[in-house]
Amino acid sequence: MTITREDVLQALSTVPLDAGGTPLSASGRLTDILIEDGGRVVFAIVIDPSEATRMEPVRQAAVAAVQRVSGVGSVLASLTAERPASAGAQTPPSPHPKAQSATPPQRTQRIPGVNHIIAVASGKGGVGKSTTACNLALALQSLGLRVGLLDADIYGPSVPKLLGIHGKPRLLENRILEPMEAYGLKVMSIGFLVDEEAAMIWRGPMVMSAITQMLREVAWGDLDVLVVDMPPGTGDAQLTMAQATPLAGAVIVSTPQDLALIDARRGVSMFKRVEIPILGIVENMATFICPHCGKTSHIFGHGGARAEAERLGVPFLGEIPLNMTIRELSDAGRPVVATDPDGPHTALYKAMASQVWATLSGGATARPAPRIVIE
């Protein structure tokens, strides 16, 4: 059974926004309503950050009301402090989001001074997403770019450790935080602000407001690229975050095993669903060269991510080997691109960075060229 935007608005008209009884549907507070195959309905309610507590029951009532619409499978509604260009009853949002478009819609306000924001994401944890985010950020910097790194992996912020940063950021005027610095990167992490156990139990709206704060209430200054280390997975929190961040594109990190590739595919489709271009897939922990005998082994299989990228029609950004030096340096807070700038692994990250930057700056297309077959 097909659900229409009107069905959803009809349900939301029964939810009062305030004591005055303004229906949520007519409040001008709704963002685009996405209706996915399978009956999942996704939308957000625009609030001022100070209204978060008062609006949480409204959000819950909205979920319950839409859930009652016949044909609806699940409902994801979040509170957002970002007012998208299309918010408001006057601008009817598109009920049928396209699968992917070349230029992403500006759902959320840009961050003044920050030219491109890119996500580094993975379908599951432990594949080397944060290690890739740090080294990619450093490799972009080695191209002469001004780069920031935002650790949004709220459930396991590891950037402070990977970059060896200790201490807390300074609070400047007007509640603005000064980013920390490491190896020339401007860095912000939830790990600087709360301890890990506290972040683990945060609910959706709290996660969103923490991310919003780290994006917008930080003195990033002028940056060419801000790399965002996303939380792993493709659940509701990740989807909401992808929607609420003005992303220019996403890099997906995967290991070569089939299972990781299934998760990576989910990651690709999550970003496509919210019309964020895929900058490419990275195969991490691809090959292992024995430091003693020099023999190459493919511990997790090999080449799966390249084949998957080809199948999905997205760029392949390269293979990073499973390497003791990468692990030891990462875990000691001395990422390989910073500590071994002329080494073979740095060259791989630099090639990845060049390809990403070419796509971002429109200098070249990173899509694989079509194969011409002469019969």
Residue numbers at the binding site for ligand ADP (CB under 6 A): 122, 125-131, 158, 232, 284-285, 320, 322-323, 326-327, 330-331
What is the number of other CB atoms lying within 10 angstroms of the CB of residue 369?
6
Q: How far is the CB of 131 from ligand ADP (least distance, A)?
A: 3
Q: Are 340 and 347 in contact, with CB atoms under 8 Å apart?
A: no
Of residues 108 and 355, the one with the C-beta less far from ligand ADP: 355
b/e 182-202 (16+ beta carbons within 10 angstroms → b): bbebbbbbbbbbeeeeebeeb
- Please state the closest distance from residue 160 (CB atom) to ligand ADP, in A: 12
Shorter beta-carbon distance to ligand ADP: residue 31 or 122: 122
Which CB, 84 or 233, lies closer to ligand ADP?
A: 233
Q: Is 279 helix (H, G, I), strand (E, B) or coil?
A: strand
Residues 24, 31: contact at Cβ < 8 Å? no
- Asked if residues 95 and 5 have their Cβ atoms less than 8 Å apart, the reply is yes
Q: How far is the CB of 232 from ligand ADP (least distance, A)?
A: 6
Q: Which is nearer to ligand ADP, 249 or 321 (CB)?
A: 321
Residue 117: closest CA among 159, 149, 153, 83: 149
Crossing angle, helix 52-67 and helix 204-216, to 10 degrees?
130
Minimum CB separation from ligand ADP for residue 126, in Å?
5
Closer CB to ligand ADP, 25 or 130, in the complex: 130
* Torsion sign across C-alpha atoms 233, 239, 241, 245: positive
Supply 127's token pair.
């594949």
Q: How far is the CB of 119 from ligand ADP (least distance, A)?
A: 13
- Min separation Cβ 281 and ligand ADP, Å: 14
**By C-beta, is 26 or 299 nearer to ligand ADP?**
299
